Structure 1
């Protein structure tokens, strides 16, 4: 989903945003597909999966990523 709105680091869990977060020694990148109260559905390079907002928030890289 393409969006013309600027990425808001205070609201990273918005459909269409690309998120980047630290996972161990590596970074993961995925696009937000769906948002629920306490979790988000993400589409990564190899899978689509649900992640808890609580587990992602402290590890998010808040810089804006270029669109794919």
Structure 2
């Protein structure tokens, strides 16, 4: 829906992944489309409800992968 935006991003946070089994959303298709326009985009699937992915995303926010990249 927003190819220009996704082409420019470094990171995409996909929230509420705990709801995916109950929704008509194809995460694999989304990821394929995202990486078609931006192969380097890093993706963090997260769920605030279950905590899934939150630690990885927070690590990235504080520069866990690259200390020079901390926000």
Instruction: State TM-score, norm by structure 1.
Output: 0.20
Determine which structure has the larger strand proportion and give its number.
Answer: 1
Instruction: State TM-score, norm by structure 2.
Output: 0.20
Query: Whose Rg is larger?
Result: 2
Determine which structure has the larger helix proportion and give its number.
Answer: 2
